[in-house]
Amino acid sequence: MEANYSKEEFLKGKIILIDKPYEWTSFDVVKKIRFLIKRKYKLSKIKVGHAGTLDPLATGLIIVCTGKATKQIQKLIDSGKQYEANIKLGATTPSFDRETDINKKFEIAHITSGKVKKILENKFKGIIKQVPPLYSAKRVNGVRAYELARRGEEIELKANMVEIKNIELIEYNLPDIKLYINCSKGTYIRSLARDIGVALKSGAYLHNLRRISIGNFAVQDAISIKEFEKNLSNYNNLE
């Protein structure tokens, strides 16, 4: 069945599932979708927003809402998230991911798959306290933390309580491990990677991240930006 890409559908309110490409920001996705809809239907403006930020170096599900569907954004943001995370053990970076270079290296010879599973089960399931990364969108006196961090300013972020509903080791190949994570809103997987490294008496940083679901919406039902553009261009406007 052909997707309904009519002007009325977008204005009335449409939810679009996008598989975010690597190095795109969440705002890049929203900006592109808005531009394509406005160009197709010669609109001067249309409401378009996303339901939950995904870091530029991550891929996976972004929920884009248009028109009156933007009223559902907060409800969607409050939904649980599921991820697949590739974590590199034995090193750390200031950003807790690949955005910045490695600043310290650690021993990993003592780490076994059994130790990883035990630590995940005993320390990272349930309600946990988590400090957001300095390179994050958290605001400090009205300024994004990553802006201050990139300027070299010293800042201290407050810990938040988040819920890890489930966390499993799905691949083990030192120095790399791959985890499945089901968590509450507000969970920083980069911070989780950092904390897992500390718990293993080593270091760790997030190497790759893919968001596979938000609430009842799954990435396998998402389309790429190029697919959206093609579908929109091919849609026969019968107005």
55 tagged catalytic? yes
Q: Is the peptide bond before 132 cis (omega within 30 degrees of 0)?
A: no
Q: Which structure tokens are listed for 159?
A: 């810990």
Q: Which of 55, 78, 176, 221 is catalytic?
A: 55
Q: What are phi and psi of 13, to 5 degrees?
A: 135, 115
Nearest residue to 212 (alpha-carbon basis) of 20, 14, 16: 20
Tell me how far CA of residue 93 lies from CA of 105, 189, 192, in angstroms.
9, 14, 13
Q: Which structure tokens are listed for 218?
A: 């799954």
Vertex 142, ends 136 and 145: CA angle to 5°? 20
Question: Catalytic residue positions?
Answer: 55
